Each structure stands twice: as structure tokens, then as C-alpha cells.
């Protein structure tokens, strides 16, 4: 195929290929890109394509490019959907700290205090007992109950949301 024949193909078939692709995908911008890609593929193989077969080649190239685009778009949408289910996005939470603080605020005061002293401040059970005037076994029970509550609260995200 010569340059003159290629240009003639552009004049003759560009609108038809565009309409064909647009009917299938209903996205004007994507349809334009697919038609452009099909013509680029045809230009790369212009020496191997006879002018009589150019219409067939062009529609075939556009169709395959469209299928590839649809597959890529579907994979991109599936990929994005997997991350859209992230609980922090649903209510605009951008920080785990906010979620943990909301859960801790639901605890009884004594459980919240001992949990914060143990997990945030790093005190030992004995030191927490001295601070709160509790014996060591009471501290352990309160921390255990607080952790169970936090676990159940955080697992049940409908409470956070």
C-alpha cells in the first residue's frame, strides 16, 4: 500500500470505523483512540497490506484494539473496586488512629484507662495497678475485657460507620 492509498483509506473508512467502535463501546474519546490505534497499526504494516484488503484489515484491527481496551478497563475497574471497599474511605476516615480513638471512647472509663496505660504508654501490669489503685489481677481482667470489646467493635465496622 502506498502513502496515497493509505490516505485514501483514512478518507474512506475513518468515519465508518469510528461509528462501528462507538456503537459498541459508547465512549467517544475511547472510540477515537481505538480508531487512531487501528490506523497506526495499519501504517506500520502498510507495505504488507494490499489496498483491496485495507478495509477488512482496518476493521479487524479496530475490533481487536477495542476488545483489548474493554479488557483493560474491566481489569482496572475490578482493581479499583477491590480497594473501594476499604472501610476508611466510606466515612472519610483517613487514619487508623481516629477509628481506634472512636472505639476507645466507647469503653468504660476504667477499661479505657488501663488499656491506654498498657498499650499506649507501655506500663507494666504492676505499675498500672499502682497508678489506678487496682491489684494486678484486676488490671489484667480490665485490659482483657477492653481488648475483647475493641476487637469486636473493630471487626463489626457498621458500628464504626
Please write the tens of the pLDDT for every residue from 12-21: 889 988 988 8
Q: Which residues of 36-52 are buried (b: 16+ CB within 10 A; e: fewer)?
A: ebbbebbeeebeebeee
Higher pLDDT among residues 126 and 23, named by residue: 126
pLDDT of 88 reads 45
- Listed in order, the ranges of the chain carrying CATH 1.10.10.10 are 88-160
Max intra-chain CA distance, the chain: 95
Distance CA 161, CA 156 (A): 9
3-class SS letters over the chain: CCHHHHHHHHHHHHHHHHHHHHHHHCCHHHHHHHHHHHHHHHHHCHHHCCHHHHHHHHHHHHHHHHHHHHHHHHHHHHHHHHHHCCHHHHCCCCCHHHHHHHHHCCCCHHHHHHHHHHHHCCCCHHHHHHHHCCCHHHHHHHHHHHHHHHHHHHHCHHHHC
* Side-chain-facing half-sphere of 71: CA atoms under 13 Å: 6
The structure's pTM equals 0.47
- Listed in order, the ranges of the chain carrying CATH 1.10.1740 are 3-84
CATH class, range 88-160: mainly alpha
pLDDT of 87 reads 46
Residues 30-78: tens digit of each pLDDT: 889 999 999 999 999 888 888 888 888 888 888 888 888 878 877 766 6
Report the candidate in 34, 36, 57 with the shortest Cα–Cα distance to residue 45: 57
CATH no., domain 3-84: 1.10.1740
Q: Is residue 157's pLDDT more than 90?
A: no
Q: State mean pLDDT over 121-129.
A: 87
pLDDT of 133 reads 87
pLDDT band for 137, please (50, 70, 90 cuts): very high
pLDDT band for 136, please (50, 70, 90 cuts): very high
pLDDT of 74 reads 74
Higher pLDDT among residues 77 and 1, named by residue: 1
pLDDT of 79 reads 58
- The percent of residues above 70 in pLDDT, for the chain, comes to 84
Amino acid at each position: 500500500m502506498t502513502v496515497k492509498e493509505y490516505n485514501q483509506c483514512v478518507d474512506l473508512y475513518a468515519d465508518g470505523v469510528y461509528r462501528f467502535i462507538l456503537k459498541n463501546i459508547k465512549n467517544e474519546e475511547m472510540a477515537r483512540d481505538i480508531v487512531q490505534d487501528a490506523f497506526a497499526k495499519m501504517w506500520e504494516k502498510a507495505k504488507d497490506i494490499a489496498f483491496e484488503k485495507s478495509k477488512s484489515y482496518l476493521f479487524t484491527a479496530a475490533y481487536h484494539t477495542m476488545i483489548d481496551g474493554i479488557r483493560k478497563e474491566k481489569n482496572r475497574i475490578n482493581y479499583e473496586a477491590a480497594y473501594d471497599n476499604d472501610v476508611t474511605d466510606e466515612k472519610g476516615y483517613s487514619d487508623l488512629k481516629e477509628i481506634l480513638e472512636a472505639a476507645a471512647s466507647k469503653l468504660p472509663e476504667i477499661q479505657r484507662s488501663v488499656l491506654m496505660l498498657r498499650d499506649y504508654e507501655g506500663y507494666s501490669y504492676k505499675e498500672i495497678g499502682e497508678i489506678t489503685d487496682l491489684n494486678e489481677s484486676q488490671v489484667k481482667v480490665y485490659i482483657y475485657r477492653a481488648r475483647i470489646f475493641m476487637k469486636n467493635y473493630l471487626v463489626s465496622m457498621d458500628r464504626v460507620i
